[in-house]
Chains A and B, each alone.
Chain A
Amino acid sequence: METIVFALLNGVIYGLLLFMLSSGLTLIFSMMGVLNFAHASFYMLGAYFAYTIMGATSFWLALFIAPILVGLVGAVVERYGLRKVHANGHVAELLFTFGLAYLIEEIVKIVYGKTAVDYKIPSLLDFPAFTIYGASFPAYRMFMLFIAIGMLVGLWFLLKKTRAGLIIQAALTHPHMVGHLGHNVPLIFMTVFGIGCALAGLAGVIAGNIFVTDPAMAVLMGPIVFVVVVVGGIGSLEGAFLASILIGLLQNFAVGISASFADIFWFTGLSPTSEIGDITVSSLAPVLPFLLLVLMLIFRPRGLMGEQEL
C-alpha cells in the first residue's frame, strides 16, 4: 500500500516538475515554430543560481530571485539572439538553441567546476512530512508539490483569466493580427520566452537540491522534456500537462515494480538467470518515456492533444 501511495505522490510531483519545464517549452514552440534545445539549460541555470544565492543569503530568497534571474537571461537571449537569428529561418534557430545549450553547459563548468555542487535542501524542510507503514515521506517533496501546484494555478490564471494572457494566446496563433490591433508582439514574445525560462529556472531551484546539481543535469532532463512535449502534442499546454503527469506516474510506478521478465513471462519458460529473463520492470523505467515517444509518433503523430502532426 505504501508503495502505491509513494509512487503516486512521487509520480505527481515529478510530473508537475516536468510540466514546469514542458509548459515553457511548448509555449516557446508555439511562438518560434521550433523546439528550443537549450530549454533544459535554463533549468540547470535555475539550480546553480539558487545554489549561489542560497550560499550568500537563504533558500527562500533564492526561490524568488533565481527564477527571475533565469527569466531575465531568457529574455536577453530572445531579444538579442533568437530574434536576429529568426530572420534566417527555422534551421538557423534550431542550430542557435543547440549552440546555446552547449555554451551554457561549458560556462557552468568553467564557473562551478565539472563535479556536482553541494546544493542542499533547506534545514527548515528537512524532516519527514508523514509516515505510512513505517516509511516516511520527506516534507521537501510536499513543498515541491505545493510550489508546482501554485505554478500551475498561476499559469492557468495568467493565460485564461487576464487580458495579458488572452493577448499572449492570440499572439501565439495570429501574431500579425495581434500586431495590427496595436499590441507589441516582439515584446510579447520576449515576455513569453522569459516566463518559459523562468518556469524552467523554478523547476531547477526546487529540483536541483533533491536530485543533483551538476553540469550534466540539463542533458539528463532535456530529452524527457522533449518527450513530454511531443507526447502531449506540440504547442498544447493541456497536452503537456497530461503527458507530464502520465510520464511522471509511469516512471515512478515502474521503479516500484521489482518483477523480472522471467516472472511476467513465466508461461514461456524464460529462465530467470538468462539475460532477458533477468531484466526487471524497474530497470526499464528510464526507457519508458522514449518507448512512449516512439509509439506515439507511429500511431498518433499529433500527440495526445496537439493540433498539428510532426
Chain B
Amino acid sequence: MTQPMLEVKDLNAFYGKSHVLRGVNMEIMPGEVIALLGRNGVGRSTTAKAIMGEVAPKGEIIFKGKPIAGLESHKISRLGLGYVPESRDIFPTMTVRQNLVLGIKDMKNPGKYTVDDMLDMFPNLRNRADNAAGVLSGGEKQMLTMCRTLMGDPELIIIDEPTEGLAPKIVQQIGDTIAEIAKTGVSILLVEQKLSIALRIANRVYVMGHGEIVYGGTPADFATRDDVRKEWLEV
C-alpha cells in the first residue's frame, strides 16, 4: 500500500487562549491535489500554518514517514514541503529574478527548475524579470510566489487562498497554473474558498468547520452533498 505523502492526526492549535484547531485529521497521497474548503475563520489557514511550523502544533504531522510537528520552518521546507502563503510575501524591493533565486534552497544542489524555466513558463514574468517585484499586479505576484516555491523543488505545496482578491480572468489563469504544476507530479494542498476552481482541480475535497474536518470525499461525491454545502460552506 502506498504511504501517504502527508498525514495529519488529531492536530490542535491555539492563538492565545483560543482553541482554533480541534483535532484535524487528513491525509494527502503522492501526486494528489486536495482542496481544503470552508468558511472564513474555520481554521483552514491555521492548518496550513501549523503544518509549516508557523503556528505551534499539537498532534501528529507526518511527512513522507517523518514526524515534522514543531520542526523549524526551514527544516520542514528542506524535507520537500513548499508553502505559498495567503499574504504572498514577495520581496517587493527585489527584482522578479532575485525573488526566484531566493527560492533555491541550495545553490550547490539546485532543483529541477531554473530561473529561465520559470520565465519561459510565465512570459508575463519574463517581461518584468528585472523590475522590482513590488510593482507587479496581484495576479503576477501570485504567479511569482508560486514559481519561487517551485524553485525549491518541493514534493508537496500548500497553497493558501491563491485567488483571493483577483479578477475572474486571473482566477482562471491561476487555476490553470495550479493544474499544470499538479501534472508535474507535485502534490498540492489547496486552501480555497472558490468552489469552481477547487472542484475543477482537486482529486479529493476536505471541508472544515469549527476547527475540524467535517467532510472528506471526491469532487463527484461532494457534488451530491447539498447538506454539506448548505451547512458548512454557504453564507
Q: Which residues of A contact B (CB under 8 A)?
A: 163, 166-167, 169-170, 173-174, 176-186
In the complex, chain A residues whose CB is within 8 Å of the CB of B103 = 181
Interface string of B68-109 (1 = CB under 8 A from A): 000011100110001101000101011000100111011100
Known contacts: A166-B98, A173-B91, A176-B54. The answer to whether A183 contacts B85 by CB under 8 A is: no
A178-B93 Cα distance, complex, nearest whole Å:
15
Selected from A163, A169, A179, the residue in CB contact (under 8 A) with B73 is: A179
Contact sample, A vs B, 26 pairs, CB 8 Å cutoff: A163-B101, A163-B107, A166-B98, A166-B101, A167-B102, A169-B91, A169-B94, A173-B91, A174-B89, A176-B54, A176-B73, A177-B89, A178-B102, A179-B53, A179-B72, A179-B73, A180-B54, A180-B74, A180-B77, A180-B82, A182-B105, A182-B106, A183-B102, A184-B74, A185-B73, A186-B72
Q: Is the CB of A182 within 8 A of B78?
A: yes
In the complex, chain A residues whose CB is within 8 Å of the CB of B106 = 182
Q: Is the CB of A185 within 8 A of B102?
A: no
Selected from B91, B93, B94, B152, the residue in CB contact (under 8 A) with A182 is: B152
Selected from A167, A169, A182, the residue in CB contact (under 8 A) with B77 is: A182
Q: Give the shortest distance, in Å, between A250 (CB) and chain B (any CB).
A: 30
A177 and chain B: residue at smallest CB distance: B89
Question: B52 contacts the other chain (Cβ, under 8 Å)?
Answer: yes
A144-B77 Cα distance, complex, nearest whole Å:
44
Q: Is the CB of A181 within 8 A of B54?
A: no
B149 and chain A: residue at smallest CB distance: A181
B101 and chain A: residue at smallest CB distance: A163
In the complex, chain B residues whose CB is within 8 Å of the CB of A169 = 91, 93-94
A186 and chain B: residue at smallest CB distance: B72
Q: Is the CB of A170 within 8 A of B148?
A: no
A167-B107 Cα distance, complex, nearest whole Å:
13
Q: Give the shortest distance, in Å, between A86 (CB) and chain B (any CB).
A: 14
Known contacts: A166-B98, A170-B102, A180-B52. The answer to whether A185 contacts B91 by CB under 8 A is: no
Q: Is the CB of A183 within 8 A of B105?
A: yes
A176-B74 Cα distance, complex, nearest whole Å:
9
In the complex, chain A residues whose CB is within 8 Å of the CB of B78 = 182
A21-B157 Cα distance, complex, nearest whole Å:
42
> For A166, A167, A179, A180, which residue has the most chain B Cβ atoms within 10 angstroms?
A180
Selected from A173, A176, A181, the residue in CB contact (under 8 A) with B102 is: A181
A194-B52 Cα distance, complex, nearest whole Å:
28
Q: Is the CB of A180 within 8 A of B83?
A: yes
Q: Is the CB of A170 within 8 A of B94?
A: yes
Closest 9 CB pairs of A and B: A179-B73, A182-B105, A177-B89, A182-B77, A180-B83, A170-B91, A179-B74, A182-B78, A184-B74
In the complex, chain B residues whose CB is within 8 Å of the CB of A182 = 74, 77-78, 105-106, 152
B154 and chain A: residue at smallest CB distance: A182
Q: Give the shortest distance, in Å, between B108 (CB) and chain A (any CB).
A: 12
A169-B94 Cα distance, complex, nearest whole Å:
9
In the complex, chain A residues whose CB is within 8 Å of the CB of B54 = 176, 180
In the complex, chain B residues whose CB is within 8 Å of the CB of A177 = 85, 89, 91
> For A166, A167, A170, A181, which residue has the most chain B Cβ atoms within 10 angstroms?
A181
A180-B72 Cα distance, complex, nearest whole Å:
9
In the complex, chain A residues whose CB is within 8 Å of the CB of B148 = 181
In the complex, chain A residues whose CB is within 8 Å of the CB of B149 = 180-181
In the complex, chain B residues whose CB is within 8 Å of the CB of A184 = 72, 74
Q: Is the CB of B74 within 8 A of A183?
A: yes
Q: Is the CB of B73 within 8 A of A180?
A: yes
A179-B85 Cα distance, complex, nearest whole Å:
12
Q: Is the CB of A174 within 8 A of B91?
A: yes
